[in-house]
Amino acid sequence: MKKKLLGLMLLSGLFAFSVAASDGVSLRQKAQQAVEAGNYEEAYQTYQELSSQCDSIYQQIYGEEIEDLRATYRIDELELQNKEYANRLLSYFIGIVLFLSAAFLVCFFFFRRQNKQLTISRKKLEEAKILAEESVKNKSLFLSNMSHEVRTPLNALAGFSSILSMDGIDDDTIRECDDIIRLNSDLLLKLINDVVDISCIDLEHMQFHLASCDAVALCKYVVQTMEKIKHTQADILFRSDLDSLMIDTDSSRLQQVLINLIVNASKFTKQGQITLSLEQKGDEAHFAVTDTGCGIAPELHSRLFGRFEKLDEKAQGTGLGLSICRLIIKRLGGDICIDPSYTDGARFVFTHPLGERSEA
């Protein structure tokens, strides 16, 4: 019994800290008094009652703690679920943002590319439109120039040919008519040659026949020929410090350029001088045709080498001469321009490589 009592006392001591009610304290005191009085049976029953009360209190406290733990667990579980849901939402949001960003970038670059292609297409269309307008303009200018230029020599040929068929004309009249017919025939042939040249010289497969040529001798020959057939009172001269200058060129094409430049100068130089000059600078030959005529206004320089451009509508020609000269010089590997610093008339300068450097 004492052992049981000691066990109950130990158990009551362990749970005494949790017994806060006043009746629990009273039972413990009553049990101690019974022990002191030697009434162990009463003390046993009192301690047993106190133990039952402690068990009840412990079970109540333990149940409350269990409920608190369960509530805490449920709260933690809900918080964990909320965190998982929030993480899932964040993942979905990030995925949607990345998808929309990728879609935006794809659309941006797609539309940018489409806009670039559209810009290029518009540019090409605009260029094609300009070329078409330029072609129509050139065609109109060509027809206008040719109808005027061809009509003049044809009328002269028809008129003076009819005079030759008349009876009773003297020899002087026949010679005069013959000279006029020959002159207009040459003019008409030149017009046709200009048209043929401008139509075929652009073809990439057209080959120039290059050979070694003495540029000094060629220039002298051109000047002598033009001096004999000139239609101006201006003197046609050749000046050069060189005795000889060998170049690789198409001599007939180079001669054509020189003749075109001199003929063009003679139209606007009724008196004075037309000078063909030649000099060597490095590995290039520099040709120049200088006149003392009326000159060309600076604002018209940019139009000089355009096709069908006639700065003076009263002057004969198709407006193709300078354009043909530039095409030939380009094909031979040189360049041509008007000297803007010369103000006593007009000076056309072009270069020609000494060796073979043709663009043909």
Q: What is the pLDDT of residues 114-142, one digit of tens each?
A: 888 888 988 888 888 888 887 777 666 66
Provide the pLDDT confidence category of residue 9 given band limits of 50, 70 and 90.
very low
Of the listed ranges 34-38, 67-71, 107-111, 205-209, the one predicted with least confidence: 205-209
Percent of residues in the chain assigned helix, strand, coil, to nearest 5: 65, 10, 25
Nearest alpha carbon to residue 188 among 225, 229, 158: 158
For 350, how many CA atoms within 13 A lie in the half-sphere containing its CB? 23
pLDDT for 8 equals 47
- Tell me the average pLDDT of the chain: 78
Please say whether the structural domain 211-353 has been given the CATH code 3.30.565.10.
yes
3-state secondary structure of 349: strand
Give the chain's end-to-end CA distance (angstroms, integer): 135
Q: Where in the chain is the domain with CATH 3.30.565.10?
A: 211-353
pLDDT for 17 equals 42
pLDDT for 195 equals 66
CA pair distance 158, 167, nearest whole angstrom:
17
CA pair distance 123, 197, nearest whole angstrom:
31
Cα pseudo-dihedral 155, 161, 162, 165, rounded to 10: 180
Does the structure show a pLDDT above 80 at 81? yes
Architecture of the domain spanning 122-200: Orthogonal Bundle (1.10)
Does the structure show a pLDDT above 70 at 82? yes
Strand ranges (DSSP E) for the chain?
211-214, 235-239, 246-249, 273-281, 284-291, 336-338, 346-353
pTM: 0.51
Q: Which is it for the CA torsion 100, 101, 104, 106, positive or negative?
A: negative
Task: Evaluate whether 320 touches 257 at the Cβ level (below 8 Å).
Answer: no
CA pair distance 31, 23, nearest whole angstrom:
12
pLDDT for 54 equals 74
Task: Evaluate whether 196 touches 210 at the Cβ level (below 8 Å).
Answer: no
CA pair distance 57, 21, nearest whole angstrom:
10
Q: Where in the chain is the domain with CATH 1.10.287.130?
A: 122-200
Residue 293 CB contacts under 8 Å (≥ 6 apart), including other chains = 234, 265, 268, 269, 270, 272, 345, 346
Nearest alpha carbon to residue 348 among 358, 359, 335, 357: 335
- DSSP single-letter state for residue 213: E
CA pair distance 107, 113, nearest whole angstrom:
10
The tens digit of pLDDT for each residue in 172-223 reads: 888 877 877 876 677 677 667 666 665 655 545 456 788 999 999 999 988 9
